[in-house]
Amino acid sequence: MATTITAGLGSKRTVRKMALAGVLTALSFATSSVVVLPNMAPFQHFFNVITAVLLGPWYAIAVAFLTGSLRMILEGRPILAIVGAVIGAGLAGFLYRWTGKYSAAVIGEVIGTGVISAIVAVPLMNVLYHAHIPSLFFYIPFFVPAATFGGCVRLLILKSDPKNWPIGPFNGSFLNKMNEVNHGFKNFKNNIAFGV
C-alpha cells in the first residue's frame, strides 16, 4: 500500500515552490551578473517582484538572499548585494499578499529597496567596510532607479497585452506565442498556489 505525503517539506506543492525558487535564483544571479551598473542591479529587482508575486514574501526573501550571496561570493560585491535586495523583496511579497495587486508588489520593491535598504546599508558599510559614508541618504540615488526599473518592467509584462504593443515584430506567430506564455504564466501561478 502506497502512501502520499500531503503536507510538510515533502509535499508536491513545496517541492515545486522550492524548484521554482532555485530557477528564479539562478536567473536572477545570471542576469544581475550580466547587466550591472555602478551600485545597481536592476534585474535582481525584476526577479524579486516575480518571486514575490509567484511564491510569496518568504521565498522572495530567500531568493534575494541567495542571489545577493552568490554575487558577494562569486563576484566580490559588498554587503549591498544582500541588503539592497532582501528588504525590498520581503516588502513586495507582503504588500502583494495583502492587496493582491501587482502594483503593490512594485511599490513594495521600490520603497523597500530604494529607501529602507539604502538607509540600512549606510551603517553596515561604515561598520563592516570602514567606508565613512557621510549621509544616510547616500545610496538612495543608486537604489531607487534600479528598483523602479526592475519593478516597472515586470509590472508592464504582467499587465500588458501583446496586441496593444506598437512594435512591428509583435504580430502573427510571435503574438500567439506571447499570448501562450502569458496564459501559461497565469496557469502556473494558480497551479503553485493551489498545489495542483
Whole-number pLDDT of residue 154: 77
Which run of H or of E encompasses 96?
Answer: helix 80-99
Residue 40 DSSP class: B
Rounded CA gap, 180 and 186, in Å? Answer: 10
Cell triple for 9: 517539506
- Length of the chain counted residue by residue: 196
Whole-number pLDDT of residue 172: 47
Residue 180: other Cβ atoms inside 10 A: 10
Name the nearest CA neighbour of 57 among 21, 99, 93, 20: 93
Whole-number pLDDT of residue 151: 82
Contact 64, 89 (CB under 8 A): yes
Whole-number pLDDT of residue 26: 94
Mean pLDDT per block of 10 residues along the chain (196 residues) reads 50 86 93 75 87 93 96 90 92 95 91 94 93 91 88 76 47 49 56 51
Whole-number pLDDT of residue 168: 44
